[in-house]
Amino acid sequence: MIRAVRRHLSIAVACATLSLPALAGGPSDAALVAAPRNPTEWLNYGRTYDNQRFSLLSQITPKNVKQLRPVWTAGLGSLDGLEATPIVSGGKMFVTGAHSHVFAFDAATGDRLWHWAPEEPEGLGTVLCCGPVNRGVAVYENLVYVLTLDARIVALDRDKGTVVWEKVIHDWKQGVSATGAPLVVKGMVLAGIAGGEYGVRGYVRAYDAKTGAERWTTYTIPGPGEPGHDTWPGDTWKTGGGATWQTGAYDPALGLVYWGTSNPGPWTPDLRTGDNRWTSSLIAMDVDTGKIRWGFQYTPNDGWDYDGNNAPILADIKVDGKPVKAALQTNRNGFFYVLDRTDGRFIHATPTIDGINWTTGLDPVTGRPKINEAMKPKADGKKVMPIVPGLEGGTNWFPMAFNPETGVAFVPTNTWAMALTGYKPEDIKYEPGQVYMGMDYKMHRTGETVGRWRAYDVQKKKWLWEIASPLPVFAGVLATKSGLMFSGDQQGFFFAADAKTGKVLWKHQTGSGINASPITYAIGGRQYVAILSGLGGDVGFYFKGPKNASLMVYALDNHDAVGHGKGGSFPVEDIDGALTPLPK
Catalytic residues: 305
The Cα–Cα gap between 148 and 215 comes to: 20
Q: Which helix (H) or strand (E) holds 106?
A: strand 102-106
Torsions phi, psi for 52 (to 5 deg): -75, -20
Tell me how far the alpha carbon of residue 301 is from its chain's centroid: 24
Angstrom distance (rounded) from CA 319 to CA 313 = 16
**Which residues sit opposite 402 in a β-bridge?**
409
Q: For residue 438, which amino acid is it?
A: G
Cα dihedral sign, 448-451-455-459: positive
Residues in the chain: 584
Residues 295/228, Cβ–Cβ less than 8 Å:
yes
Distance CA 40, CA 528 (A): 9
| Cis amide prior to 389 (ω within 30 degrees) | yes
Do 312 and 257 meet the contact criterion of CB atoms below 8 Å apart? no
Element (H, E) at 10: helix 2-14
Q: Which of 80, 47, 14 is closest to 535 using CA atoms?
A: 80
Element (H, E) at 153: strand 152-157
Burial 64-93 (b: 16+ CB within 10 A, else e): bbbbbbbbbbbebebebbbbbbbbbbbbbb
CB half-sphere exposure, 442, CA atoms < 13 A? 7
Amino acid occupying residue 33: V
- Single-letter residue type at 584: K
- Cα separation, 108 vs 422, whole angstroms: 52
Whether the CB-CB separation of 487 and 506 falls below 8 Å is answered with: no
